[in-house]
Amino acid sequence: MGLLKSIIILLTLLSAAGRPAADNLGTGLAAINQQKIKVEIASTFSQHYQGLSGRASLCADCGLLFNFTDSEQKSFVMRNMNFPLDIIFINQGVVQNIAENLEPEGNDPQHVYRSAGEADQVLEVNGGYCEKYNIRAGDKVYLSND
């Protein structure tokens, strides 16, 4: 293979590695207090790390659902975010706690937001969503595929 072709392939791979993995995310539907939220589902470490960082916006009834293989305390930051979020910590289908109206931070975030206890899922929605729809700790979360 020629040197130029090798360089092009390498640059393509490096470029793909730096892009958000949105096209690889699963999709589904979440419902809390009868509010339906179209969710993208992040299941891998790289998808968890990327989260919504770098995205320009999120539609009004959309969210990103993080699925974890374990149930333990989870920590999140607002690294490279462009808009405020509510972070909903969930364990076994029940809202445990919510970090609301979190402001975006740059590449070196100073604030860490944690679940109050164990969490096996985390749902990120636009800032103010939980207050608008009266979502609170103890609410049930229902999930389904598209």
> For the chain, which residues make up each domain, given as ranges?
24-145
Residue-wise pLDDT for 62-113, tens only, equals 999 999 999 999 999 999 999 999 999 999 999 999 999 999 999 999 999 9
* Residues 114-127, mean pLDDT to the nearest whole number: 97
**pLDDT score for 25:** 85
Structure tokens at 31: 């419902």
In the chain, the percentage of residues whose pLDDT exceeds 70 is 84
CATH of the domain spanning 24-145: 2.60.120.1140
Contacts of 60 (CB under 8 A, 6+ apart): 126
